Amino acid sequence: MTSAMPAPTSPEVDAFLARLPEAQRLALEDVRTTLHALVPEATEVLSNGVPTLIHFGPLIGFGPHGASRTQCALYVMQAKLLASMRSAIAPHTVSGGTIIFTPEQPPSVALLERLARDRARENEAAHIRSAQRNAPKRK
Protein backbone atom coordinates (compact mmCIF):
# COMPACT_ATOMS: atom_id res chain seq x y z
CA MET A 1 0.00 0.00 0.00
CA THR A 2 1.39 3.41 -0.92
CA SER A 3 0.82 6.44 1.20
CA ALA A 4 -0.68 9.53 -0.33
CA MET A 5 1.52 12.55 -0.79
CA PRO A 6 0.76 15.20 1.80
CA ALA A 7 -1.10 18.19 0.41
CA PRO A 8 1.16 21.15 -0.33
CA THR A 9 0.73 23.73 2.37
CA SER A 10 2.00 27.26 2.47
CA PRO A 11 4.43 28.52 5.12
CA GLU A 12 2.56 31.84 4.92
CA VAL A 13 -0.69 30.10 5.81
CA ASP A 14 1.07 28.18 8.60
CA ALA A 15 2.27 31.50 10.06
CA PHE A 16 -1.17 33.08 9.62
CA LEU A 17 -2.91 30.27 11.49
CA ALA A 18 -0.24 30.22 14.23
CA ARG A 19 -1.19 33.78 15.21
CA LEU A 20 -4.85 32.91 15.87
CA PRO A 21 -6.39 32.06 19.25
CA GLU A 22 -6.12 28.33 19.89
CA ALA A 23 -9.80 27.44 19.36
CA GLN A 24 -9.95 29.26 16.02
CA ARG A 25 -6.59 27.86 14.92
CA LEU A 26 -7.54 24.26 15.70
CA ALA A 27 -10.91 24.54 13.96
CA LEU A 28 -9.39 26.15 10.88
CA GLU A 29 -6.55 23.62 10.75
CA ASP A 30 -9.17 20.86 10.70
CA VAL A 31 -11.03 22.63 7.86
CA ARG A 32 -7.72 23.07 6.01
CA THR A 33 -6.81 19.39 6.35
CA THR A 34 -10.25 18.27 5.19
CA LEU A 35 -10.24 20.61 2.18
CA HIS A 36 -6.78 19.42 1.13
CA ALA A 37 -7.98 15.81 1.37
CA LEU A 38 -11.03 16.63 -0.75
CA VAL A 39 -9.12 18.57 -3.42
CA PRO A 40 -5.56 17.22 -3.24
CA GLU A 41 -4.57 18.89 -6.50
CA ALA A 42 -5.33 22.35 -5.07
CA THR A 43 -2.54 24.66 -4.02
CA GLU A 44 -2.67 26.95 -1.03
CA VAL A 45 -1.93 30.67 -0.90
CA LEU A 46 -2.57 33.66 1.29
CA SER A 47 -4.84 35.74 -0.94
CA ASN A 48 -6.01 39.16 0.18
CA GLY A 49 -4.98 38.18 3.71
CA VAL A 50 -7.07 34.99 3.69
CA PRO A 51 -5.79 31.40 3.40
CA THR A 52 -7.24 30.16 0.11
CA LEU A 53 -7.15 26.94 -1.86
CA ILE A 54 -6.58 27.45 -5.57
CA HIS A 55 -7.82 25.04 -8.22
CA PHE A 56 -8.29 26.71 -11.61
CA GLY A 57 -8.83 29.90 -9.61
CA PRO A 58 -9.83 30.63 -6.02
CA LEU A 59 -11.75 27.67 -4.62
CA ILE A 60 -12.47 28.26 -0.93
CA GLY A 61 -10.89 30.55 1.62
CA PHE A 62 -10.89 30.00 5.36
CA GLY A 63 -9.99 32.11 8.36
CA PRO A 64 -11.35 34.17 11.20
CA HIS A 65 -14.57 36.02 10.49
CA GLY A 66 -13.43 39.61 10.14
CA ALA A 67 -11.71 40.78 13.31
CA SER A 68 -13.57 38.24 15.44
CA ARG A 69 -11.47 36.22 17.84
CA THR A 70 -14.28 33.71 18.36
CA GLN A 71 -15.88 33.11 14.94
CA CYS A 72 -14.47 31.45 11.84
CA ALA A 73 -15.48 31.69 8.21
CA LEU A 74 -15.43 29.81 4.96
CA TYR A 75 -15.09 32.24 2.08
CA VAL A 76 -16.87 30.40 -0.71
CA MET A 77 -17.09 33.49 -2.94
CA GLN A 78 -20.33 32.34 -4.53
CA ALA A 79 -23.46 33.69 -2.85
CA LYS A 80 -25.62 31.95 -5.47
CA LEU A 81 -24.15 28.54 -4.59
CA LEU A 82 -24.68 29.13 -0.87
CA ALA A 83 -28.25 30.27 -1.45
CA SER A 84 -28.96 26.92 -3.11
CA MET A 85 -27.56 25.07 -0.10
CA ARG A 86 -29.30 26.84 2.81
CA SER A 87 -30.62 23.70 4.46
CA ALA A 88 -27.23 21.93 4.23
CA ILE A 89 -25.50 24.96 5.74
CA ALA A 90 -27.81 25.29 8.77
CA PRO A 91 -27.18 26.00 11.63
CA HIS A 92 -24.35 28.20 10.35
CA THR A 93 -24.90 31.81 9.34
CA VAL A 94 -24.44 32.90 5.74
CA SER A 95 -23.46 36.40 4.71
CA GLY A 96 -23.12 36.80 0.95
CA GLY A 97 -20.55 34.20 -0.14
CA THR A 98 -19.36 33.50 3.40
CA ILE A 99 -20.33 30.80 5.90
CA ILE A 100 -19.77 31.87 9.50
CA PHE A 101 -19.22 29.25 12.19
CA THR A 102 -17.80 28.81 15.67
CA PRO A 103 -14.90 26.53 16.54
CA GLU A 104 -17.30 24.54 18.71
CA GLN A 105 -19.62 23.92 15.76
CA PRO A 106 -17.49 23.59 12.61
CA PRO A 107 -18.92 22.70 9.21
CA SER A 108 -19.46 19.00 8.64
CA VAL A 109 -17.22 17.00 6.35
CA ALA A 110 -20.27 16.42 4.14
CA LEU A 111 -20.80 20.17 3.78
CA LEU A 112 -17.11 20.76 3.05
CA GLU A 113 -17.21 17.96 0.50
CA ARG A 114 -20.22 19.44 -1.28
CA LEU A 115 -18.72 22.94 -1.29
CA ALA A 116 -15.34 21.74 -2.55
CA ARG A 117 -16.92 19.55 -5.24
CA ASP A 118 -19.28 22.25 -6.48
CA ARG A 119 -16.64 25.01 -6.44
CA ALA A 120 -14.12 22.75 -8.21
CA ARG A 121 -16.70 22.02 -10.92
CA GLU A 122 -17.46 25.73 -11.32
CA ASN A 123 -13.77 26.63 -11.60
CA GLU A 124 -12.99 23.78 -14.00
CA ALA A 125 -15.95 24.74 -16.24
CA ALA A 126 -14.85 28.39 -16.25
CA HIS A 127 -11.31 27.30 -17.15
CA ILE A 128 -12.60 25.19 -20.07
CA ARG A 129 -14.82 28.04 -21.33
CA SER A 130 -11.87 30.42 -21.17
CA ALA A 131 -9.60 27.99 -23.02
CA GLN A 132 -12.24 27.54 -25.72
CA ARG A 133 -12.67 31.31 -26.14
CA ASN A 134 -8.92 31.77 -26.40
CA ALA A 135 -8.27 28.83 -28.73
CA PRO A 136 -7.19 29.69 -32.27
CA LYS A 137 -10.10 29.71 -34.68
CA ARG A 138 -10.11 27.04 -37.39
CA LYS A 139 -10.55 28.12 -40.95
pLDDT at 8: 67
Average pLDDT over residues 66-94: 91
* Global confidence as pTM: 0.86
pLDDT at 2: 38
Phi-psi region of 51 (alpha: psi -120 to 50; beta: other; left: phi over 0): beta
pLDDT at 66: 87
Average pLDDT over residues 46-50: 93
% of the chain exceeding 90 in pLDDT: 68
Q: Domains of the chain by range and CATH?
A: 11-132 (3.90.1150.200)
Residue 102 CB-density burial (10 A; 0-12 exposed, 13-18 middle, 19+ buried): middle
